[in-house]
Chain A
Amino acid sequence: MRTRLIAATAAAFAAVATLPLMAQQPKTAADGIAEYRKMLEDGNPAELFEAKGEELWKTARGPKNATLEACDLGLGPGVVKGAWVQLPRYFADTKKVQDLESRLLTCMQTLQGFDAAEIANTPFDRGEQASVTALAAWISSSSRGMKMALPQKHAEEKRFYELGKRAFFFRGGPMDFSCASCHGEDGKRIRMQDLPNLTKNPGDGVGFAAWPAYRVSSGEMWSMQRRLNDCFRQQRFPYPGFGSDVTVALAVYMGVNAKGAESIAPALKR
């Protein structure tokens, strides 16, 4: 059943993808896209990753042959529900503001004995990077329907918000783009793609409250780290380190701005 839904979704996407750009009848194209979006609502392949993530959390793995069930995602060891909508946050044990993915690396190293730096340097979707993505899918799904509520009490959390804001407006690269070039105003589009204004709360299930997400166009599950990585690629910037300060600071900036927005992660995207 699930497989059939995914196949239907993929077919619907393929149909839209092959629509001629110079369409003779604009209405038909718009209708096609609306139809496709509706079909997407029926089945989200992210569920497969959620199931894998839950299994990974509860399975003894790594050099220490341990589960992740004692991992503290901010609400206490083993508490998963509600953790996602309060990340990134400051962690006293690492003395760092961490997002979900960088926190998972900490837990995989301390509890399971994996090498966090090695995982951070592994390309997306390979080896333990794929585990991190699946874990992020499951953990975020455990906060589905909850409102974004990143803490801003600790001085480091406030500092990271300020650094994230500066990174958001930082112009560079051969095209002079910053995050704000695309995401600084309401109601803008790149081609047909709507762009959320991330300098404020863009609304329930939009922007930061939608990732991780399954991307139909690439057939991949993307964590927020992956989303930011591809934003920087399109911004024509160099390559951001996985879990690097700029990625965490931007997540704090967007997450705090989205305060009160309902999380739909893992969402389904184009």
Chain B
Amino acid sequence: MKIRHLTALALLCVGTAHAQSAKQLDQQADAMMKASFREQGIAKMDRVEQDAAQKACSAAKPPPATVAKKIEAQQLAAIKWPSDGQFIGDWKEGEKLAQNGRGMTWTDASATPGKNGAMCYNCHQIDKKEISFGSIGPSLWNYGKLRGVTDPADPAQAAIVKYTWGKLWNSKAYAACSEMPRFGHAELLTEAQIRDLMALLLDPKSPVNQ
């Protein structure tokens, strides 16, 4: 009886020691991330201070579903919808933004939203004429057409229009650990720029929907 007790106790200790050491390593890694970097130009040290969403998605395994759901709800609540109710801009400007992969590095002069590209082609196929596209995100060719968008102003098609705005503004609202930057939420792009990207994806006249 006593031996069994001791064995159980020993097992408990081993388990605890292991868990503690993983936790210690987490703490050491956090300290390392702060100690190993210094600010340079516009890239300040706050960039290694994680928010809750970044922290929850910083392991090889995704967080539990309950945690993911909570993050998605928080991010969704933080989305700013277009101030004038206008969702669609100019697809030609949207294409220029999609091509532009610049901004926010320590060699860039300004961190002002509006100085950045949207870098869409880095990860997505969009207009099929552009053959230099990345594959981290899904293809967006025929994005609006495939979703039946014939008139983005039609209230019957409002759901997909609203979702697309939300996804561009804050991708984490729909997938907690999405690899896509939160273009509106993180102030990478202005409302006007996001309207232009919306047009590239949803305007029936956009080359994406031909």
Contact = CB atoms under 8 A, between A and B. Distances in A.
Interface stretch (A46-54, A92-100, A180-188): A180-188
Interface in A131-162: 159, 162
Contact of B53 (A176, A188, A246): A176
Contact of A176 (B33, B48, B181): B181
A190 B136 contact: yes
A169 B188 CA distance: 22
B136 to A, nearest CB: 5
Given A174-B188, A236-B43, A238-B40, A191 B133 contact: yes
A165 B61 CA distance: 12
Interface in A158-216: 159, 162-163, 165-167, 169-178, 180-182, 187-193, 195, 199
Interface residues of A, number: 47
B178 to A, nearest CB: 8
A241 B47 contact: no
B105 A236 contact: yes
B131 A26 contact: yes
B29 A163 contact: yes
Interface string B10-50: 00000000000000011011001101111110011101111
B54 interface: yes
A23 B131 contact: yes
Prevailing SS type, chain A contact patch: mixed
B58 A169 contact: yes
B60 A174 contact: no
B107 A233 contact: yes
A170 B134 contact: no
Interface of A: 21-23, 26, 29, 159, 162-163, 165-167, 169-178, 180-182, 187-193, 195, 199, 232-234, 236-241, 244-247, 249
B25 A189 contact: no
Nearest to A166: B29
A182 B29 CA distance: 21
Contacts of B181: 174-177
Interface-central residue, A171, A177, A195, by most chain B CB under 10 Å: A171
Contacts of A175: 104, 181, 186, 188
A166 B134 contact: no
Contact of B122 (A23, A191, A249): A191
A162 B25 contact: yes
Given A170-B58, A236-B104, A245-B35, A188 B135 contact: yes
22 contacts: A22-B129, A159-B25, A162-B25, A163-B28, A166-B29, A170-B33, A171-B57, A171-B58, A172-B33, A173-B48, A175-B104, A175-B186, A189-B134, A190-B123, A191-B101, A191-B122, A236-B47, A236-B105, A238-B43, A238-B48, A245-B35, A246-B33
B77 interface: no
B1 interface: no
Interface-central residue, A162, A191, A233, A240, by most chain B CB under 10 Å: A191
A166 B55 CA distance: 11
B39 A187 contact: no
Interface-central residue, A178, A190, A233, A241, by most chain B CB under 10 Å: A190
Interface-central residue, B28, B33, B39, by most chain A CB under 10 Å: B33
A96 B91 CA distance: 55
Contact of B59 (A169, A173, A187, A234): A169
Given A21-B99, A182-B136, A239 B29 contact: no
Q: Which 6 A-B pairs have the closest CB atoms?
A: A166-B29, A246-B36, A239-B40, A244-B36, A175-B181, A238-B37
Nearest to B43: A238
Nearest to B127: A22
